[in-house]
Structure formats: C-alpha cells, structure tokens
Amino acid sequence: MEIWRHHKHEARENQCTSALVKHIKAPLPLVWSLLRRFDEPQQYKPFVSGCVLQQAHVSIGSVREVNVKSGLPATTSTERLEQLDDDRHILAVKILGGDHRLRNYSSVVTAHPEVVEGAPGTVVIESFLVDVPDGNTKDETSYFVRAFISFNLSSLATVSERMAVQP
C-alpha cells in the first residue's frame, strides 16, 4: 500500500499544507489504540488539559471541545471527527472553531506497521491543511502547526514505547 495516499491535500492560494512522519518502537495495535481515542486526546497530546465529547459515544460527525493548557495562544478548540477507519488506521479531524487562529484546519493521521531491529514498530504520518491567517506567511503558519504536531507525535512515541515495554 502507498502510505502517502491519504495525505495529498489540495491547498488553495491562501492555505498551507505539510506532513510529519514519526517512527515509533511499539506495535501498531498499541499506537492505534491511543490515536483512535477521539474522546481522549489528552492520553498523549501534551498541551491538552481536557476534552468533552458533545455526544454520548464517538461516531463519525462527533464533536469534541478540547481545552488546552495555559500559556498557549488559545484556550479551547471545537473539533469534529471526519473519519475513523480501524482497518486501514486512518483518523481525520476538522477544526470547527475556538479562540485560536487556525481556520479551516483539517488533519489526517495514518499508522502503518514496520519492523525495527526485528521488533514490531509503527510509522505514523500526520498531515494538515489550514488557512494562512491574515498577517502571517505560509512558512510561519507551517512552522507553528508543525511545532505542535511534532510535540504530539514525540509524546505519542514516548507513551507508546513505555506501554510496549511494561504491558
């Protein structure tokens, strides 16, 4: 399978898009069990302080209210689950609103098995598409978003690798 096929976003003139790759030394079922929890991003995202789902259960179209820790340029973000594929390991989320500057943000994260030094590992790819805010450049926007995704994926690796060694 071509691992990049779900990450080809069509960016308009006022938008930017980019992707990050993270290799994790933990088996795919474990990594996916963390990624798929649309209702509990705080399990690995270091800047999330809490999350409230607007429905009783997660399904496509579910909306979550994410609260982020103090000191960040935002306090809250409203996000909708667009796709959750437990067979192909695809999660897609759209940001609907919040007191931040990310307009029309959408992201896709996929997980793929790999073997690292004879042990089961996982490659995670996360890509995004977002409007470039007025007064910012594409490079600034990309740098800002990539920084948060990079922290999230590093933390995902730390948490999964810890769980992999002590089941």
Residues that bind ligand A8S (CB under 6 A): 45, 47, 68, 72-74, 77, 95, 98, 100, 102, 107, 145, 148-149, 152
Measured from the CB atom, the residue of 119 and 140 that comes closer to ligand A8S is 140
CB contact at 8 A, 27 and 164:
yes
CB of 130 to ligand A8S, least distance (A): 8
Measured from the CB atom, the residue of 153 and 164 that comes closer to ligand A8S is 153
CB of 167 to ligand A8S, least distance (A): 27
Measured from the CB atom, the residue of 94 and 120 that comes closer to ligand A8S is 94
CB of 120 to ligand A8S, least distance (A): 25
Report the alpha-carbon angle 65-9-50, nearest 5: 15
CB of 115 to ligand A8S, least distance (A): 28
CB of 105 to ligand A8S, least distance (A): 7
CB contact at 8 A, 106 and 8:
no
Instruction: Give which of 76, 101, 92 is closest to 126, Cα–Cα.
Output: 92
Measured from the CB atom, the residue of 47 and 58 that comes closer to ligand A8S is 47
Measured from the CB atom, the residue of 90 and 120 that comes closer to ligand A8S is 90
Strand partners, 121: 114
For residues 75-88, one letter each, b for 16 or more C-beta atoms within 10 angstroms of the residue's C-beta and e for the rest, the string is: eebebbbbebeeee
